[in-house]
Structure 1
């Protein structure tokens, strides 16, 4: 056996070090996890936290600044900004998680079908995905929600459907490659059913890719809900939403910009944390693939 096959080359050693370093969590990942976890925990515990009623108006503190009674001030109607941000998180995070779950489950299933099938089944799935991708997402969402009425359920369903084509595209390409691998061909030769093949052999090999993409799409779902709320097409008032708070704050933007800037900062922070975690998961799964 040649000696150079036993002694790792400098290039291989450098590649291993880079792979290990990329797989190691950093300060940004830890900070993003803490911030996003804190916001999620606050949203879950909102009913038991010492917060004011987010719909209660205090006429003695209209557009008030930071203070002991109202830590983040109040809006133009005297409603506590901190309480409305926490309760608004329940809407935004629910829509983001729900829409991502719908897109991941339906899109992954259709992507595996398109990757393992040939002929009409693959053509139908991919053409449907192309049709949905051809429509401007926000215009389609506004049209559907305008027809059925704004609510958390309608927004979640519409955004979830809009996420399906992306998951189909992400899943179909690696499944096409896996379909030609020896273990898949052997399972087919032994007569394994398509459902069992997808669940037992294909899904475990693409789950990392799906989770990574889902984390990024969660942030996008929160952002889309914020945009719809800004346009008045999310949960109707007086229920708080981050987008609705930003829109309402325009009335006093010049005198009290904090009314608009605070929910904007929280929305940006959630999306940023989701992107950071998505990048970290991508590095982790890429490093695992490189070590195989």
Structure 2
């Protein structure tokens, strides 16, 4: 019998494996290297989270912070610039811009969070009903959604708030109502797909009621989609509340709102632009941060979907 060549045996033992590099990385980490890199949150996302957290903490603890009374009028500093007493200056009535911006965050964040919660709760429920229902149930929900979408959102908000009167509760409910159709459409599509899956059909065959089926089987599978969409709608809620405040139909004075501050700053815009620029910059940053976080959540959701 021929004797094996020792050199050939050594070369064979030390030769690299023919297995693709991507497959080796997938075996070690559960995901291919590019996917593993995408799972990191990223510096931009952490900066967005930090800014929103800092703003929320400042708004909640505003009475404890060394800020001036946002409603106090300083007659010696009408539309004044930067100073040791007023770090960002004052508006046309002598009210501190920094204090009003921080206190205005309380209104904007409360309205945006409340409106998003209302839209998510109602829209998710109706979306699941429309996705699981057939016949008149689905038709009624979708036609009501189409009717709401047919109205110009800002005109509808102005009409309803003008009828019931401006307040934090009315503004929150109206903006939440405007968010419902979007949540219905976002939830309905995956629910229709889930309704034909084996585990849902098995639950129906065992006689599980529709409410229990939605709570136990459907809702956990659409929660990630709802949360991702809700983060984006939170930013839109801040923007809508600012638009209503600019038009004078948001939370009435003397409570400061970012939209109201932007509108009031037009009187001294040429000489003291920071009166309007400060709330505008904060509003833009909040919307930008919400979009960044929403986009990152959407990316992570796509990765999880690819693993199923």
Tell me the TM-score normalized by structure 1. Answer: 0.95
> CA contact under 8 A between 1:103 and 1:167: conserved in structure 2?
yes
1:22: how far off?
2.1
In the TM superposition, what are the counterparts of 1:5-44 in structure 2 within 5 Å? Answer: 7=19, 16-44=32-60
1:73: how far off?
1.0
2:78 corresponding residue in structure 1: 62
> Unaligned regions of 5+ residues in structure 2, if any?
1-17
How many Å separate the matches in 2 of 1:91 and 1:21?
38
SS at match of 1:243: helix
How many Å separate the matches in 2 of 1:178 and 1:21?
30
In the TM superposition, what are the counterparts of 1:142-161 in structure 2 within 5 Å? Answer: 142-161=158-177
Alignment partner for residue 201 of structure 2, among 185, 202, 208?
Answer: 185
Relative to structure 1, the CA distance from residue 12 to residue 262 in structure 2 (aligned partners, 3 Å threshold; closer, same or farther) is: farther
CA deviation map 1:57-108 (0-9, x unaligned): 0011111112221111111111011110111001000000000000000000
How many Å separate the matches in 2 of 1:161 and 1:177?
26
How many Å separate the matches in 2 of 1:84 and 1:12?
57
Relative to structure 1, the CA distance from residue 9 to residue 195 in structure 2 (aligned partners, 3 Å threshold; closer, same or farther) is: farther
How many Å separate the matches in 1 of 2:33 and 2:73?
58
Tell me the TM-score normalized by structure 2. Answer: 0.90
How many Å separate the matches in 2 of 1:246 and 1:96?
18
1:11: how far off?
8.9
Pair 1:89 & 2:105 matched: yes
1:17: how far off?
2.6
> Unaligned regions of 5+ residues in structure 1, if any?
1-5
1:8: how far off?
5.4
In the TM superposition, what are the counterparts of 1:211-222 in structure 2 within 5 Å? Answer: 211-222=227-238
> CA contact under 8 A between 1:212 and 1:278: conserved in structure 2?
yes
Aligned pair count reads 287
> CA contact under 8 A between 2:78 and 2:90: conserved in structure 1?
yes
How many Å separate the matches in 2 of 1:27 and 1:281?
14
Pair 1:50 & 2:66 matched: yes
2:182 corresponding residue in structure 1: 166
2:92 corresponding residue in structure 1: 76
Aligned Cα root-mean-square deviation (Å): 1.6
> CA contact under 8 A between 1:19 and 1:290: conserved in structure 2?
no
